[in-house]
């Protein structure tokens, strides 16, 4: 069976039924797949479970309506598949760290999860039977479209990320030769922004299809080589217990990062993680 085609069908089904209550059983019946098979291929491809993907997509569309429409919050809650405004508010606060009415007043929209797009070339690349090791190189302005396409796939790891602002920052990092990319032909596999001044990784994203293939470690090794004059490398991520975290904090700890001070960035609670040179 063509797993890429199967996942595409599942995503289309979810997008067509975002205003309804959805779970693994409902989606499996809708696309006529075994729920066990569906769970496996979807999680391996998208990097999220059906439950997490659906919840984040529904809340993203709800957040968009809060900012760009005047619909009552109850109507938005029902359109997001919730049975009550309170249930919607509870879920929204867990993910966005503020109630829907406050989010509306702030008038700043950012997504938790955009529609996952399947890139056929990337899927074929992932399934090659060769030991492919693309190089990490400095990003150029010609790489910006590939970079921003990958940002859409990893946006779940970066709360409050606004694409226009991110692109502005990216251009500065490219000019300062502190933006790195791993790519193959027409797709980006991984991207990283590095600050030599602060010794920090300011952005690191690996395509979901490649998160279990050691590429995150390769970017970390690159960061270590680039910041030889620093005693440690830092990165910020979700705080412990944050329901919006889809596994980023755990992955960093497995790479050897240790917990440091709690922070608030762009109004969102985060935590600084550090990796010493000795580590």
Instruction: Tell me the CATH number at 9.
Output: 1.10.10.60
Mean pLDDT on 116-126: 65
User: Do 194 and 252 fall within a single domain?
Assistant: yes
Is the pLDDT at 216 greater than 50? The verdict is: yes
User: CA-CA distance, 181 to 193, in Å (whole number)?
Assistant: 9
- Answer for the pair 111, 96: CB distance below 8 angstroms, yes or no: no
Is the pLDDT at 124 greater than 80? The verdict is: no
User: Do 56 and 101 fall within a single domain?
Assistant: yes
* Per-residue pLDDT band at 118 (split at 50, 70, 90): confident
User: Do 149 and 216 fall within a single domain?
Assistant: yes
Is the pLDDT at 121 greater than 60? The verdict is: no
User: Do 170 and 245 fall within a single domain?
Assistant: yes
Cβ burial, residue 78 (10 Å; 0-12/13-18/19+)? middle
- Answer for the pair 147, 155: CB distance below 8 angstroms, yes or no: no
Q: Which residues contact 62 (CB under 8 A, 6 or more apart)?
A: 76, 77, 79, 80, 88, 92, 100
User: Do 138 and 272 fall within a single domain?
Assistant: yes
Tokens, residue 221? 């090794």
For tokens 């830092």, name the residue. 234
Is the pLDDT at 58 greater than 90? The verdict is: yes
User: Do 170 and 217 fall within a single domain?
Assistant: yes
Q: Give the pLDDT of residue 218.
A: 92
Is the pLDDT at 10 greater than 60? The verdict is: yes
C-alpha distance from residue 76 to each of 67, 91, 93, 156 (Å):
11, 13, 15, 22
* Per-residue pLDDT band at 126 (split at 50, 70, 90): low
Q: Give the pLDDT of residue 45.
A: 87
* Per-residue pLDDT band at 184 (split at 50, 70, 90): confident
pLDDT digits (tens, 9 = 90+) for 245-269: 999 999 999 999 999 999 998 889 9
Find the distance separating the first CA and the last CA of the chain, reported in whole Å. Answer: 44
Q: Give the pLDDT of residue 47.
A: 87
User: Do 29 and 148 fall within a single domain?
Assistant: no
Mean pLDDT on 45-73: 95
Give the end of a domain, one of 54, 72, 106: 106
User: Do 270 and 227 fall within a single domain?
Assistant: yes
- Answer for the pair 91, 55: CB distance below 8 angstroms, yes or no: yes
Is the pLDDT at 49 greater than 90? The verdict is: yes
pLDDT digits (tens, 9 = 90+) for 145-164: 999 999 998 998 888 888 89
User: Do 101 and 202 fall within a single domain?
Assistant: no
Q: Give the pLDDT of residue 129.
A: 41
Task: Note down the domain range covering 33.
Answer: 3-106
Q: Give the pLDDT of residue 185.
A: 75
Q: Give the pLDDT of residue 213.
A: 82
Give this prediction's pTM: 0.86
Q: Give the pLDDT of residue 130.
A: 41
Of 22-31, 66-75, 209-218, the one with minimum mean pLDDT is 209-218
Q: Give the pLDDT of residue 59.
A: 97
Q: How far is CA 142 from the centre of its chain?
A: 23
> Does 213 map to a domain?
yes
User: CA-CA distance, 167 to 187, in Å (whole number)?
Assistant: 17
- Helix, strand, coil share of the chain (percent; to 5): 50, 20, 35
Is the pLDDT at 203 greater than 90? The verdict is: yes
Of residues 41 and 133, the one with the higher pLDDT is 41
Round the average pLDDT of the chain to a whole number and report it. 89
Q: Give the pLDDT of residue 103.
A: 95
Is the pLDDT at 230 greater than 70? The verdict is: no
Of 85-99, 167-181, 231-245, the one with minimum mean pLDDT is 231-245
What is the number of domains present in the chain?
A: 2
Is the pLDDT at 104 greater than 60? The verdict is: yes
């Amino acid at each position: 069976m063509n797993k890429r085609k199967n996942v595409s069908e599942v995503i289309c089904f979810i997008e067509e039924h975002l205003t309804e209550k959805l779970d693994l059983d409902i989606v499996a019946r809708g696309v006529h797949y075994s729920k066990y098979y569906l769970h496996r291929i979807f999680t391996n491809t998208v990097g999220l479970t059906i439950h997490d993907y659906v919840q984040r997509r529904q809340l993203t569309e709800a957040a968009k309506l809060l900012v760009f429409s005047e619909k009552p919050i109850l109507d938005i809650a029902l359109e997001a598949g919730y049975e009550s405004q309170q249930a919607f508010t509870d879920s929204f606060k867990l993910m966005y760290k503020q109630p829907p009415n406050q989010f509306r007043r702030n008038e700043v929209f950012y997504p938790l999860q955009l529609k996952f797009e399947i890139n056929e070339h990337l899927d074929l690349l992932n399934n090659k039977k060769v030991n492919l090791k693309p190089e990490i190189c400095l990003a150029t302005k010609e790489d910006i479209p590939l970079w921003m396409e990958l940002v859409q796939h990893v946006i779940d790891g970066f709360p409050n990320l606004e694409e226009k602002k991110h692109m502005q920052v990216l251009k500065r990092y490219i000019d300062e030769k502190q933006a790195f990319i791993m790519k193959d032909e027409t797709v980006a596999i991984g991207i990283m922004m590095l600050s030599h001044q602060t010794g920090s990784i300011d952005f690191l994203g690996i395509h979901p299809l490649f998160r279990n293939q050691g590429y995150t470690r390769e970017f970390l090794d690159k960061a270590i080589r680039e910041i030889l004059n620093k005693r440690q490398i830092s990165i910020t991520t979700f705080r412990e217990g944050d329901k919006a975290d889809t596994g980023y904090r755990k992955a960093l700890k497995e790479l050897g990062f240790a917990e440091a001070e709690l922070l608030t960035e762009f109004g969102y609670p985060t935590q600084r993680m550090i990796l010493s040179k000795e580590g």
